[in-house]
Structure 1
Amino acid sequence: MTSSMPEPTAPSSRGAIDLAALKKVHPERIDAPENNAPSWVRTINQELFPEIVAISQQVPVIVSLGSPRSPASVQLDGLLASVVNAKNGSVVMATVDAETESTIAQAFQVTQVPSVIALINGQPVPMFQGSAEVSQIQSLLDELLSLGIQHGVSGTVAPFSTGAAPAEAPLPPLHQAALDAIEAGDFQAAEIAYKHALNDKPNDTDAAIGLNQVRLLMRTQDQDLAAVRAAGAANPDDLEAQLAVADMDVVGGHVEDAFGRLVNFIGRNFGDEREVARARLVELYSIVGVHDERVVASRQKLARVLF
């Protein structure tokens, strides 16, 4: 993370933004603030993108590119949203699913998720990649607001939602407890909550997916990407090395690379290691979504190497 904010750069123009839908677990977390408070945060699509660009002529816009299947992205968006909403309209936030909105990610030249970029007068301002603490986010946001003033972008705008709409149905208590724990960075508590939910209801699909998400985050939170990749390249038949790279690839949005790596490992190995790799691959399938086309394609490749 840099200590000073760069000047806006010329925006990319790589064609129209493509829309797609991806099943999300509890997608209302970001767009529905607690206690029906006003929110200056929204998820954008092709129709809303020009509106967001227009808003950046009035106030700076934070664009968070991540994945609803990545606990790290969900956690970061929660922190960003709390800081943005505290500014009461002097800055707004747009969330983008970088996996399904790949054209947006390419236009912003995003190579990993989560990545955060700002817009001022329609021009992108790089901010940071990966996770960040609240204090770091607040410091960068203050720099961004100062940069906006320098470029004549220093107004305020009305919230995207005012709390007047009917509230979403509440989540089951254990699911809510797990999500609160994730936002607080207490992944062990989140794991316990999801386990209790599954004990109460063994066919709770959302709890099973949530448990896999939390375990993925726990496995990757302290890992160094360069070191993990180097170990994986040096040890192609080491089970733990290949599992670690696959985990990092899913968190970083390189889903097909992760799947291909584990399918290839399974095809080269037999016995207990093969079964462990297969079980991890199935776990990653659930995180990405069983109906995702990448999962469907990978399952076909897995069947060929298994049978």
Structure 2
Amino acid sequence: MTNVPPSAANLRGAVDLSSLVNRANAPVGAPAQPGAPAGAPVQVPSLVLDGTDANFGEVLELSQRVPVLVDLYADWAEQSTAMSAVLQKVVAGLRGRLVLVRVAVESNPQLAQAFQAQSVPTVAAVIAGQPVPLFAGAIAEDQLLDILEQLLQLAVQNGVTGSAVSADAEAGAPADDAAEPVQEEPLPPHHAEAYEAIERGDYPAAIGFYKTAIAQDPRDQLAVAGLAQVSLLHRLAGKSLEQIRSAAAAGPNDLDAQLDVADLDLSGGHVADAFDRLLTLFPTLDADGKNRVRERMLELFEVVGTTDPVVIAARQRLAMLLY
């Protein structure tokens, strides 16, 4: 099994997609709104898209905002169709944290050559416009989940934190609901400054802008959520998955190590695991340690969303431990 490279430096490899960038093609995702944050939702026709030699420039644009998984397949190959089914199942379960792009190798020879697909299936990814080779052949679902956990961590390290919203999932909505587009309100000044700082990778500056917004209006929930999200990015920046996992395994009672691995779990979509890790550790800590866990969990609740069922359950469990 091929491990995902842990740092941005490893994004640029032998795969060359430059010839596929500047092409007239059909869009696969809605264009970014001016000033949209790196983590903003992206409207797509489906979480599973068809990629071709002609439209892959749009896929590269989409990968600037949402990690893209690429399945190079052939319908005649039984192993390939079986792996495609596993990929679609797992991507659906990640609820928009990844988009799957399927490429038929026989009808798209340029992409097959660019991704060096010597056999099917060949699975790769694209993050921030750069290719990430993953594996060839069929693998088990649990192995795939491990690889995607690393891939999502790599995406976070490179500022690709958006989520995809599938248009076909909303097809059953009443026609009147979609009759008139919603006009976006201009971003408040400090929010706009924070988003610009995130885009250039300056997380401390973004944190400062959000803190200023909160100081001016403590009820600014968007700033509270933004501060929690960019703080998570800042904590993970420069740390590899292997370092975090190794430190946590070596120090099961090391609070700093366990906080780091909870951040990692949450960034990779393992939300329940992140919360359970900290809540299980909580009773063993002294007063200072308990307070640190409580504060971190409140931040992570904001990252996930306070109305998420997993957050609600974890908040109740935390309350029971506190009182």
Q: TM-score range by the shorter chain?
A: 0.5 to 0.7
Structure 1 segment 191-202 matched on structure 2, within 5 A? 191-202=207-218
Instruction: Describe the SS at the equivalent of 1:208.
Output: helix
1:63 CA displacement: 8.3
Name the residue aligned to 1:59.
55
Q: Say yes or no: does 1:275 pair with 2:275.
A: no
**Residue 305 of structure 2 aligns to which amino acid in structure 1?**
G
SS of the residue 1:120 aligns to: strand
Query: What is the CA-CA distance between 1:180 and the residue it aligns to?
Result: 1.3
Distance 1:257 1:78 in 2: 23
Q: Measured at CA, do residues 103 and 208 of structure 1 come closer, stay the same or move farther in structure 2, by a change above 3 Å?
A: farther
Gaps of 5+ in 1: 7-29, 66-72, 81-101, 141-159
Give 1:156-195 correspondences, 5 Å limit: 167-195=183-211
Match of 1:92 in 2: none
Kindly indicate whether the alpha-carbon contact (under 8 Å) linking 2:306 and 2:312 is maintained by their aligned counterparts in 1.
yes
Deviation at 1:35, TM superposition (A): 9.2
TM-score normalised by the chain length of structure 1: 0.58
| CA offsets 1:166-225 (integer angstroms, 9 cap, x no match) | 752211111111111111111122111111111211110000111111111111011111
Q: Which amino acid aligns with 2:90?
A: Q
Does residue 43 of structure 1 match 2:31?
no
Amino acid at match of 2:34: E
Question: For the residues of structure 2 that align with 1:125 and 1:305, how far apart are their CA atoms?
Answer: 47
Structure 1 SS opposite 2:59: strand
Secondary structure of the structure 2 residue equivalent to 1:77:
coil
Shift in alpha-carbon separation, 1:64–1:271, aligned structure 2, 3 A: farther
Whether 2:20 is the aligned partner of 1:4: answer no
Q: For 1:297 and 1:35, locate their aligned partners in 2 and report how far apart those are by CA, in whole Å.
A: 34
Deviation at 1:119, TM superposition (A): 2.9
Letter in 1 for 2:14: S
Q: Which runs of 5+ in 2 are unaligned?
A: 1-10, 18-29, 69-85, 106-119, 134-166, 168-180
SS of match in other structure, 1:34: coil
Q: Structure 1 219/107 Cα, relative in aligned 2: closer, same or farther at 3 Å? A: closer
Query: Compared with structure 1, are the counterparts of its residues 195 and 124 closer, same or farther at alpha carbon in structure 2 (3 Å cutoff)?
Result: farther
Given that residues 5 and 127 in structure 1 are in contact (C-alpha distance below 8 angstroms), is that contact kept between their aligned partners in structure 2?
no
Q: Distance in 2 between the 1:35 and 1:181 partners?
A: 11
2:17 maps to 1:33: no
Q: C-alpha distance in 1, partners of 2:207/2:256? A: 22
- Measured against aligned partners, the alpha-carbon deviations of 1:259-282 in whole angstroms (never above 9, x if no partner) come to 001101112223111111111111
**Counterpart in the other structure of 2:102:** 119
In structure 2, C-alpha distance between the alignment counterparts of 1:245 and 1:234, rounded to whole Å: 12
Distance of aligned partners of 1:305 and 1:280 in 2 relative to their CA distance in 1, 3 Å threshold: same
CA distance in 2: counterparts of 1:233 and 1:240, whole angstroms: 12
* C-alpha contact (below 8 Å) 2:263/2:274 kept by paired residues: yes
Cα 1:272–1:107 change in 2 (3 A) is closer
SS in 2 for 1:128: strand
Pairwise CA RMSD of aligned residues?
4.2
Identity of aligned residues (%): 34
- Equivalent pairs counted in the alignment come to 218
Q: TM-score, normalised by structure 2?
A: 0.56
